[in-house]
Amino acid sequence: MNIIVVGCGKLGVAIVEQLVAEGHTITVIDRNKDRLGSRLGGLDVMTYCGDGCSAATLDGAGIDHANLFIAAMDTDETNLLSCVIAKKKSKSNCRTIARVRNPIYSMETGFLKQELDIDMVINPELATADEFARIFKFPYASQIDTFLIQRAELVHFKVKPDSKLNDVMLMDIKTKHNCKVLVSMVERGDEVFIPNGHFVLKEGDMVGVMGNQKDIYSFFQKFGLGTKKASNVIIVGGGKTGYYVARILDNSGISTKIIELNRERCDFLSENLPNVDVICGDGTAKDILIEEGIQNAAGLAALTDIDEENILLSLNARSITDVKTATKVSRTNFEDVISQLNLDTIIFPNRIVSDRVLQFVRSLQYTMGSNIESFRRLGGGKVEALGFKVTDCSSVTGTALMNMKLKENVLICIISRNGKNIIPSGSDTIEVGDRVVIVHANADIKNIEDILE
């Protein structure tokens, strides 16, 4: 596909990197010529220096032949305007995606899409906040991915030394313990496995379990894992993401406190979050954390604008007490190093957004027999989880799973039919109208039929 990305900031670069890896033809627009050169070095992209809201700039960048236009500039209004202009100028039915961050606009997404004819509106801070909130609602998890319009979850957790899951064979989880979940992936050291029933769990494994929320909670209870949501959470950093996290947690009945350094921002938070305790101070300071009760907190969200501060803040909190930490990290350059630190959950906002963009792009490319409804990269990018809606009869419909020849390292995790989730067995089939979630490693799956050899 021919794709134009406007904006060469962190998010724009993260999106471009993933689209280049998918083999698309990319043109990047930015006002700053030096930034285009320094931030895109080594990437096989075309660049165009100019204003993303200028019709002449879009003409020069090739809007006539673009299939997709992504606006990721600094301000919401310029992103919305550039998408409108791109739609008007394009002669190739160009689709548009706008990054929109203002909380006011987040309440009007449907209106913006309909009235401005924008195909997708992404709010990175709100999407990130949803990830943080899910973690504190289920603190034992290190990551929670949702599928099937949030009717199924893939919950990731680490097998601890005293866990009842040590040395458990996966087939026994269903046959001996009657748990209606499926272990979909296991990370062990640097390796990622798509396991079969004979796989045996070991201490230190990072396990991904798929099922509906009720069955996952039952599984956690049977194996003595924690299921209670955090009772109280401290948020350090009251920016847009901190605001959204606090709002979601407050609505979920979780006692929430925000520590924010900027007095003016504290006034905004106090006015708009009346049930949240807002403290004006430096939350990265150890004495402030202790003064505000980190020893008695169930969770800590590190949400400042500086990655290094967030990492050190979470490590500092862990040195004081055994609190559940969730840490925002914008850059993925040092992911391998960061993953070795004593941190519970690390959330990469740019990856959340780029995953959603890739889901949209793939849904435009591949529509034969199915539509991609969800997409997540897992295990450091070694595994993908894909949610499909089966729209037509094909080679995968009406055939018992035991008779299918699946590609290596492909696992059908869950089938949703008429709103009911099925953990599939060999006799189950995929039918038109079903929603299906699969995980795979290096199988190059863009369409539901691609699961077959």
Q: Which of 329, 330, 300, 311 is nearest to 136 (CA)?
A: 300
Decide if 71 contacts 97 (C-beta within 8 A): yes
Q: What is the pTM of this model?
A: 0.88
For the chain, residues classed under CATH 3.40.50.720 are 2-122, 232-347
Q: Report, as an integer, the average pLDDT of 70-99.
A: 94
Q: Which class is 2-122 in CATH?
A: alpha beta
- The partner residues of 371 in beta bridges, in order of sequence, read 389
Percent of the chain, pLDDT > 90?
Answer: 79
- What length is written for the chain? 453
Residue bearing tokens 């006011």: 104
Give the pair of three-digit tokens for residue 399. Answer: 């055939």
For the chain, residues classed under CATH 3.30.70.1450 are 358-451
Q: Which of 114, 86, 145, 93 is nearest to 345 (CA)?
A: 145
Q: Report, as an integer, the average pLDDT of 67-84.
A: 96
Q: Which of 135, 151, 356 is nearest to 143 (CA)?
A: 135
Which among 92-106, 114-128, 368-382 has the top mean pLDDT? 114-128
- The partner residues of 182 in beta bridges, in order of sequence, read 210
Per-residue confidence band for 281, with pLDDT thresholds at 50, 70 and 90: very high
Does the structural domain 232-347 have CATH classification 3.40.50.720? yes
Strands 383-390 and 370-378: antiparallel
Higher per-residue pLDDT: 340 or 191? 191
Query: Taking 60 as the threshold, does the pLDDT of residue 367 lie above it?
Result: no
Rounded CA-CA distance 147/49 in Å is: 39
Q: Report, as an integer, the average pLDDT of 419-432.
A: 94
Query: Taking 60 as the threshold, does the pLDDT of residue 119 lie above it?
Result: yes
Give the pair of three-digit tokens for residue 25. Answer: 């033809």
Which range has the worst mean pLDDT, 70-84, 340-354, 427-441? 340-354
Q: Which of 390, 379, 394, 384 is nearest to 443 (CA)?
A: 384
**Continuous H helices in 74-123:** 76-89, 103-106, 109-115
Which among 91-95, 251-255, 337-341 has the top mean pLDDT? 251-255
Which among 104-108, 113-117, 154-158, 335-339 has the top mean pLDDT? 154-158
Percent of the chain, pLDDT > 70?
Answer: 99
Rounded CA-CA distance 260/432 in Å is: 51
The rounded Cα 221 to chain-centroid distance in angstroms is: 26
Rounded CA-CA distance 296/425 in Å is: 45
pLDDT at 7: 96
pLDDT at 214: 92
Query: Taking 60 as the threshold, does the pLDDT of residue 368 lie above it?
Result: no
Does the structural domain 358-451 have CATH classification 3.30.390.50? no
Average per-residue pLDDT for the chain: 92
Per-residue confidence band for 380, with pLDDT thresholds at 50, 70 and 90: confident
Rounded CA-CA distance 177/171 in Å is: 10
Rounded CA-CA distance 410/165 in Å is: 24
pLDDT at 369: 58
